Structure formats: structure tokens, C-alpha cells
Amino acid sequence: MRPLNKTRLQKSLREGYMFSPLEDSESCYFFSALVGASKVEKIFRHFAEYFPEEAFLILECYQHGSKQQAAQPATFYSPYLPVEELLQELTPFFPRLIHDGFVGFGIANNRFGLELFYSEDKILTCFTGNHIRYMDLMGHHNIPFEPLLCYPDEFTHDHLSLVALSRESLPGPLGPLNDAELDSQKFCSDLIDLFEMYPVDESLSFFLSKKEQDQIEEVLTRKPAYSAFALEDFGDLMLDWNIFVEECTQGFEGGLWEYCQNLKCRDLIQYVIESVPAPLAEKILNVIEESDHKFFEKLLDRRKGLDLPEEIYFQAKPFWYEGVVACQSVSLRRDLIRSGWYGSTG
């Protein structure tokens, strides 16, 4: 990243961090920090010690294709991986991820309410329920508390890719790499393949604190039909619902059994909504609101309905069983015909 007003930038930018309670998550804090590039990898490795066993990688990057050239970066998540394995595989990529002006990356464990992210604007952010521990981490790396911190995005600046820099300007570890290895589109594509990452719709942006995840675990544990999901990351279930809805928008490829299994995911979410405290229920509803709306808009023949499960564990009327989506695969349409759907009048 290159500032256009160098004099002002040199006087105002300095290392430091600030934090505040996260508005919509009880007992959770949001940190933001400016740190020297040489400290970023050390801080990531230090922060990784706080994860229980597993974490997933977050990657923000710009992909090939004209539609995204001047737009927002695409976001990708990896599956949960053992932390040591994740860091080991990430090691040769750290210098490029840190120094390229068109890449952001992070590590997270939603179930334990932990996330650390280094943005393309070179701002380090963190979500955590233990602010004292993160303050200690900052102190360990000599990053001072600075409530009036000034950020790079407050200045007019250019983002620079590594391939735009002269060889003499490259940080030491990057010197031996060729142009193809320095190209963010290439090394980000390599990361996506290496970690089997999948795209995530950033409009579905949310954070559940550990306390909120614990509340969800408690209500799932109480219901034998859902207890197997109690230790899962509930955020993944909401993402699964969103992915299913997007598939239905483009054209659902599975059969009727697969379709109904995805509807059961929404059943579970509804049970949680009606069982957790009101503030958390409202938060979950806000997260899935857009996906619910999209799904409702795609339903045809709502005068009819699919068979409900034998047992329903919530009070709300399940609109997701009313009708079927318009974009049907051959398998889904065949199964609906065999079940008598098109011969039924409701």
C-alpha cells in the first residue's frame, strides 16, 4: 500500500491498538490494530495458541473476471483443520499474504468465538470474548494501547500488488520468487486449492460469541433429535442453509430426499430461534432473513405442501415446506412426479 500524502502519513501512523465491546454480541470484544509487517506472522502464531485444536482459514482476494476488477474481493473459507497443520501449510505463503496490497487473510474458530484477520488495508482485527488475553498478546509484541489510533484507510492511498514492485523494493523473503509466484491471483488460487476452500457470501456476515454458541449448545443438547448437532459450529448450519438457498436459485441438483434433508436444517434453526434468549433469537433471524426471503420467492405451488417430518419441535408455520422451488433438477422433478406431487391439488 502506498500513501499519496507521505508527509501527513509519516506524522500520523504508528503502531497501536484499540478495542470496544461488540454491539450485537454479549461478552465479546472487537480489536483493531496497526502493527509492523515484521510482527504480523508472529502475532498470528501467538494467537493460534488460543484455539482449542482446530481453526479455519479466511481468504479475501480478487479473482479473474471483468465483473470483479473494481469491486469487492471474494471471500473464501477452508474447512476446519488442526491448527498446527494449518500453520505449517501456510508458512511459505505468509510473506506474500502480508505484503500484497490486494489480499486479506485470517484464522478463526466460530465455536469458540475467536477470529484474527489482516485486511488488504493492512489493519489487524480481532474478535474475542477474552479481551484481557488479547491485551496481553499486544503487550507481548510491544503494541501499545492507542485510543486515538489513525488508520491507513483514512488517507488517500494506492494498493500495490507485489508484481508492481521493483525487485529492489521487495521484502527480503520475496526476492527469490518469480513473477508468477508473486502474482496474488496465482498464489491465492494455490491456497484455495491447497486448503479446499469454498466461497462465502459476505452479505451473510455475522459473529457468534462463545457465550452465544454455549446457549445454542444447551438448547440442542436438551432435544435428543438435535443433540448430535450440539457441539457443531451453529454458524456452519446457517451457512449451509444459505448455500442451499443459493443452489435453489441457480437450480437445485439433488433429488427429493436431498431437498428435504436441507429443509430439516431450517427446522433445526427454527427450533433454536424459539428456544434461545430473545436477543440471540433476533440476531439469528437477522442473519437468515435474506436467505429466507430468497427461498420464499422461489417457491411454486404454495397451495400444496411437502409432507412435514413426523415430529416438529417448534411453533412457527414452516413456510419452507410450502410448495417447491421453481428451478428443479431432473432428479427432483422425477421424484416429485413419482410422489404424486403434480397429480395432487393439495
Instruction: Check pLDDT > 60 for residue 344.
Output: no
Specify the higher pLDDT residue, 55 or 207.
Answer: 55
Helices of type H across the chain: 6-12, 37-48, 83-90, 94-99, 131-140, 179-182, 184-194, 210-222, 234-250, 256-275, 278-298, 330-338
Confidence at residue 68, expressed as pLDDT on a 0 to 100 scale: 46
| 95's grid cell | 510473506
Confidence at residue 166, expressed as pLDDT on a 0 to 100 scale: 81
Confidence at residue 45, expressed as pLDDT on a 0 to 100 scale: 97
Confidence at residue 7, expressed as pLDDT on a 0 to 100 scale: 45
| 306's grid cell | 411437502
Give the mean pLDDT of 263-277: 97
Cα of first residue to Cα of last residue in the chain, in angstroms, is 61
Report pLDDT digits (tens) over 8-58.
445 578 899 999 998 877 778 999 999 999 999 999 999 999 998 899 999
Instruction: Check pLDDT > 80 for residue 238.
Output: yes
Give the mean pLDDT of 120-146: 95
At 213, is the pLDDT very low, low, confident or very high (cuts 50, 70, 90)?
A: very high
Instruction: Check pLDDT > 90 for residue 313.
Output: yes
Q: What is the spatial distance between Cα 266 and Cα 209, in angstroms, rounded to a whole number? A: 21
Confidence at residue 164, expressed as pLDDT on a 0 to 100 scale: 80
Mean pLDDT over each residue of the chain, to the nearest integer: 89
Confidence at residue 156, expressed as pLDDT on a 0 to 100 scale: 56
Instruction: Check pLDDT > 90 for residue 136.
Output: yes
% of the chain beyond a pLDDT of 70: 91
Report domain extents, the chain.
2-200, 210-343
State the pTM of this model.
0.81
User: CB–CB of 26/129 below 8 Å?
Assistant: no
Instruction: Check pLDDT > 60 for residue 115.
Output: yes
Confidence at residue 66, expressed as pLDDT on a 0 to 100 scale: 42
Of 5-14, 181-190, 309-318, the range with the lowest mean pLDDT is 5-14
